Structure 1
């Protein structure tokens, strides 16, 4: 994992984003936020499991389905199975050690 600090790569509302093998963060302080970094590491694992490109296709399709359903971007984002898994487990810093393969499936 490589962490890149850039305010210009991320949209204003985003504090970070994982695109394997990188984690882009808005500020250097975010690199020290263990919960935030764990959230992004969960996304990196999800991306590897789905061989990266299919992850992003699934992510976008799921976002669009939820956006149509809820008519709200934030609610659509929070309803994506990958995000549900990451938010639910971001505080468990040992989660990735015990996480089962394709664990995000139970959040679909």
Structure 2
């Protein structure tokens, strides 16, 4: 994992994870909570061999966007984001996380 400050983070977001990198809008965004959130995404990406993660993420985003007609609601509805947001404050979550936890809504 490599933490980088970068312009590639879309407006409205603080960080984006593209294995093995975590890109932050700026250094002030590099908080333990956000780093933990992005580390959860790293684990999800590894489990789905990267390509399937991005494919699933994109399809689920499009489905929820079509359903809600709101990008923020669609983004927050994606199973990967639900898992990461639910557990971002738990710094020991990754030590006990089960495989494919996002499927079970953990």
**TM norm structure 2:** 0.96
Q: Give distance in 1, aligned partners of 2:72 and 2:8.
A: 20
Which region of structure 1 is more displaced relative to structure 2, 61-70 or 8-17? 8-17
RMSD (Å) for aligned C-alpha atoms: 0.7
Aligned residues: 105
Segments of structure 1 that go 5 or more residues without pairing to the other structure are none
Deviation (angstroms), 1:80: 0.1
1:17 has 2:23 as partner: no
Segments of structure 2 that go 5 or more residues without pairing to the other structure are none
C-alpha distance after superposition, 1:58-108 (max 9, x if no partner) = 00000000001111110000000000000000000000000001111013x
Q: Give distance in 1, aligned partners of 2:41 and 2:10.
A: 18
Q: Give distance in 2, aligned partners of 1:24 and 1:45.
A: 16
Query: Which stretches of structure 1, 4 residues or longer, exceed 6 Å deviation after superposition?
Result: none
Q: Give distance in 2, aligned partners of 1:86 and 1:11.
A: 18
SS in 1 for 2:46: helix
The answer for the alignment partner of 1:77 in structure 2 is 75
SS in 2 for 1:83: helix
Q: Give distance in 1, aligned partners of 2:8 and 2:77.
A: 24
The answer for the alignment partner of 1:58 in structure 2 is 56
**TM norm structure 1:** 0.94
